Amino acid sequence: MAALLHLLNQGFDVFSLALIATLVAFGFAVQYVETRTVRPRRNYLRAALVSAALALVLVAMPLSIGSGLIVGLMLWGGFSAAGLVWAVYYERSEPL
């Protein structure tokens, strides 16, 4: 939705094409992880996909508008580490 609004307001440019390509690639990655992988690899790939999405929101977006980067990097690192800890703990505690 945000990509469509950006295209309607700004027209086509390099940022718009990169945004659309990233969203399409992310959609294919999510579909692949959910349909073609099995546990325990699926949970680790889910954590990696969430980390990549958080990197786009917390690091790439502020970087593209020229905003501060330190807080976004700290949040991204913390959330990504928490997701990895959750995936490791879940795989060790839940039976296959």
Q: Give the chain's domain count.
A: 2
- Spatial contact of 18 and 34, defined as CB atoms under 8 Å apart: no
Both 18 and 45 in a single domain? Answer: no
Distance CA 44, CA 23 (A): 20
Same domain, 14 and 27: yes
Model confidence band, residue 1 (pLDDT cutoffs 50, 70, 90): low
Q: Supply the pLDDT for residue 17.
A: 81
Same-domain check for residues 30 and 48:
no
Give the residue numbers spanning the domain of 8: 1-36
Whole-structure pTM value: 0.78
Q: CA torsion, points 68, 45, 20, 58, in degrees to nearest 10?
A: -10
Residue 8: pLDDT above 70? yes
Q: Are residues 45 and 92 in the same domain?
A: yes
